[in-house]
Amino acid sequence: MNENTRKKAILVQEMLDKYYEPERQDRCKLWVYRNYIRKAIPMSERTFWRYCARDVENNKKVEENKDQLKLWD
């Protein structure tokens, strides 16, 4: 991962940790993206989800849940 992309991913994950409240439905991750992250760092929603799925400390993707059912597999 490029160093600038890694820094953006770290910033996005920090902002998500700061504003996301798991028990509140009106403070979901998409709300945080629309109200805070998109205004601070212009990016698409798809890029936001990609940054959320990154393990920036080890520079690799987070493993998917093996128990999760796949739609097309």
Where are the domains positioned within the chain?
3-57
3-state helix, strand, coil split of the chain in percent (to 5) is 55, 5, 40
For the stretch 16-19, contacts whose Cβ atoms lie closer than 8 Å and that sit 24 or more positions apart, written own/partner, are 16/52
To the question of pTM greater than 0.85 for the whole model, the response is no
Interval 35-73: pLDDT, tens: 999 999 999 999 999 999 887 777 665 566 677 777 775
Q: What is the arithmetic mean of pLDDT over 19-39?
A: 92
